Amino acid sequence: MSATNAPVTADTTHKPWYKILYVQVLIAIVLGVLVGWLEPRIATNEWVKALGDGFIKLIKMVIAPIIFCTVVSGISHIQDAKKVGRVGIKALIYFEVVSSFALILGLIIGNLFQVGHGLAAKPDAAAVASYAQQAAEQKSVDFVLNIIPDSVVGALAKGDILQVLLFAILFGFSLMALGERGHTVRNLIDDVAHAVFGVIAIVMKAAPFGAFGAMAYTVGKFGPAALGNLLGLIALFYMTAGIFIVVVLGLIARLIGFNIFRFIAYIKDELLIVLGTSSSESALPQLMEKLERLGCSKSVVGLVVPTGYSFNLDGTNIYMTLATLFIAQALGVDLSFGQQLTILVVAMLTSKGASGVTGAGFITLAATLSVVNPALVPGMAIVFSVDKFMSECRALTNITGNGVATVFVSWWEGELDRDKLNAALNAQVDPSDIETAVTTG
């Protein structure tokens, strides 16, 4: 029996409040903010920073094997090879349409609320030289070739999601072609996946420490005063992301037949982990497990979620359009209607392949600015100091968008279990209990 079919019996209402993971993470985040604000010298200590960095490394340690096992298992259990291509095409269509809405919304809000005007900021090109150099090296040909790993072991060792995804798809098709002869290997991969999810359950117990370290270091290093006049951009970005989630994703959820707020409540544990670590990758394995519990088919989850982490970055798209307009306004550069349309096309391309890790959005912003108008690139330093405060929102929007995308594609494919969907959205499951569910499965 797979983890997907494991009964959802872990109800957090039967546990003391202080033992519930998301409560622990929330308390850790608040404590991190207080320590960073009141004791910045302690908060900026390298060991405090190591708490957050260490937790992210623990999660990233198992992302590659999780991706490999779930994708291979999902494909190899499908009897019809045409279904894989059909699901992939549907996912890509969804990604492009919804990403376009995110980009357009960012442009509309950025033009309506021009918070960049009157900002007295002097860009420091040296502060963003490394990012600009990475952006300049990002070519379409290099991106495509980089999807092909030099070796399978190297792809798994580096944890390159796209490379692992490519090999997993090929391996899954190979197992599918073997038919009954591949039965033993399929069972082995399923068992390995269960074991890795057990590792995730153990690692998740350290989430409060990671959230505390990440938040304390951020607030301690930048401080409330670091926001300055850029608070307008931060508030505008959060507002735009909120509108996107409630309106755009809300309408998609309504079309399928569920409430977006109930869905957000269902994945609140993952959202809090992302909030504390600024990395949507930190919640990827847990999100995949929860989506299967939600009634999405295993094959769809295994294909859509990993692909979405590279091709469905709604929060990053909103950030790039808003930040581009903000920088142009701050530097007094007028962007024509044609240039703003160029932002849509360029941002759609440069955002592909960006992961949920902090800093990826900033690198893709550099790539977008260099194409739209090179004169805007030095202005990246204007948002450099507060990029950290927006990376959390980018990651939160990305993971929410990928969750809704998976449910939508499952619904479109006719493989959404309505009973599981309704039952799961009305239940509360603590991530630390997943190990029990997997074991009993």
pLDDT in the model for residue 7: 36
Task: Decide yes or no: CATH 1.10.240.10 for domain 3-440.
Answer: no
pLDDT in the model for residue 243: 95
pLDDT in tens, the chain (441 residues): 333 333 333 444 466 777 777 788 888 888 888 888 888 888 888 888 888 878 877 877 877 887 788 778 777 766 666 777 788 888 889 988 998 999 999 999 988 988 776 654 455 455 455 555 555 555 557 667 777 888 888 888 877 777 887 888 889 888 888 878 888 888 898 888 888 878 877 887 888 888 888 778 877 876 655 445 567 888 899 999 999 999 999 999 999 989 999 999 999 888 888 877 666 777 778 888 889 889 998 888 888 887 787 678 888 889 888 888 888 887 777 777 877 887 787 777 666 545 444 445 666 676 677 667 777 776 776 676 566 667 778 888 989 999 999 999 999 988 888 888 888 888 755 555 544 444 444
Q: What is the CA radius of gyration of the chain?
A: 21
pLDDT in the model for residue 438: 42
State in Å, rounded, how far the first CA of the chain is from the last one: 5
Name the residue ranges covered by the structural domains of the chain: 3-440
Instruction: At 321, list the tokens.
Output: 């359009």
**Helices 231-243 & 314-331 angle (0-180, nearest 10):** 150
**Helices 183-204 & 46-76 angle (0-180, nearest 10):** 160
**Burial group, residue 425, by CB count within 10 angstroms (0-12, 13-18, 19+):** middle
Sequence-separated (6 or more) residues with CB below 8 Å from residue 166: 147, 148, 149
Cα–Cα–Cα angle for 258, 264, 270, rounded to 5 degrees: 135
Q: Which of these, 133, 110, 343, lies nearest to 235 by C-alpha position? A: 110
Length of the chain: 441
339-351 burial code (b ≥16 CB/10 A, e <16): bbebbbebbbebb
